[in-house]
Amino acid sequence: MRDRYGDFGEKGAEVVVIGTGNATLARHFVEDEKIPFPVLLDDAAVAARAADVHRVWFPRLFHPASFAGTRRAWQAGHRIGVPGKRTNQLGATFVIGPGDRLRYEHQDAHTADHAPIDEVLSAVRHEAET
């Protein structure tokens, strides 16, 4: 999303990341990855539980698709930093608004699964046009 952040802004949308970990880990993530959008912390899993974002059973962290995704990320120069308390927390992507209307949801199926950026932008574009 970092590389397409401007596309979101053009549509009047804001990207917000909610992650695990503490303030020091988040600061390093923002600095190392040059993150231009807000990063909020939820190491107590309040937001994750409210949005029903799943955790992966520990052995499933080693899902074959996760290895392929890890290899692609590594080859692109990304490195895994120090994790927060919930190392098995899967991610999710939501497009919300205006108000509390859910426009798009993608719950990651494994650690290398992420919402296709074009789908997310399409949901934002649709909202901007209506």
Domain CATH code at residue 92: 3.40.30.10
Domain housing 52: 2-129
Question: Can you give the pLDDT at residue 33?
Answer: 86
- Spatial separation of the C-alpha atoms in residues 28 and 55, rounded to whole Å: 24
Ranges in the chain, pLDDT < 50: none
Question: Can you give the pLDDT at residue 54?
Answer: 85
**76 exposed, middle or buried (CB, 10 Å; 0-12, 13-18, 19+)?**
exposed
Please, which residues have CB within 8 angstroms of residue 12's CB and are 6 or more apart in sequence? 128
Question: Can you give the pLDDT at residue 97?
Answer: 87
Domains: count for the chain: 1
75: tokens are 């080859």
Question: Can you give the pLDDT at residue 32?
Answer: 86
80 three-state secondary structure = coil
